[in-house]
Amino acid sequence: MEARELQALTEQAAEHLARGKRVVVFTGAGISTESGIPDFRGPQGLWRRENPENYTYQRFLSDPDWRKQSWKRFAGGGMAEGAEPNPAHYAVAELDRLGLLDCVITQNIDGLHQRAGVHDDRVIELHGTFKWVKCLDCGARFPREEIKDRILAGEETPDCPQCHGMLKTAVIAFGEPMPVWETLEAERRSRACDVCLVIGSSLVVYPAAYMPLFAHQAGAKLIIINQGETPLDSLADVRIDARAGQTMTLIMDGVKRRLTR
């Protein structure tokens, strides 16, 4: 995209955001690629190297050997563990500081929105989080580091210290039910917003991808920033095919200029 075209589109997006009263930001893997976390479907994505069917909830429950492998990988850390927020995350946090942000609805599990400064209460993690481990029996939650230390100390399949039930990361696996409160709250916020800003999502994973559609159907302005096409492009009021960090920096420059006039 040429610089002049990008500047014009970011100014349009800034105009919508500056006028917004309830802005919902919807983010996917594309916002975190600039933090060194590959997306799942891109050229360097996990699903280019491994079969996603191996990562089903049903296999985790039924295959003890797979659970051992899963916990071993868990203890080894991952790209999200050492990642830092990038300019796009900080731009979203700035929307919050300016009083424009209603919430962030994210498909990501990396916690980078919170680390950039968005309060936990304003982040709805539709696909869970890598920061916690949950008991599938009693529902108790434990910090990632607590369970990681147990595995590094020699446990192959840690169980719940409260009820001895089966533990699993709080990341939603294929075939695992979506979290009820998060899904319902995301829909409610989407239908009530006046601007929906999509950053870094191909909008092909459902039910998460319904959220921008709900916002559009309710009359919200729809802004999509994503490298590559999405099924909702034809509905967007502003569509920008560019990197998230540079684009959001330009947009926030425009928002701040409008708010200080």
Q: How far apart are CA 187 and CA 232, in angstroms?
A: 17
Closest CA to 186 of 209, 216, 220, 204: 209
Q: Which of 89, 113, 127, 164 is catalytic?
A: 127
Q: Name the one residue in this structure whose structure tokens are 């209603």.
A: 102
Over its C-alpha atoms, the chain yields an Rg (Å, rounded) of 19
CB-CB neighbours of 84 under 10 Å: 10
Q: b/e per residue, 130-169, with b = 16+ CB within 10 A?
A: bbbbbbeeeeeebebeebbebbeeeeeebebeeeebbbbb
Q: How many residues does the chain have?
A: 261
Please name the amino acid found at residue 68. K
Q: What tokens appear for 130 in the block? A: 């890598």
Q: Is 216 a catalytic residue?
A: no
Residue 187, φ and ψ in degrees, nearest 5: -65, -45
Catalytic (active-site) positions? 127
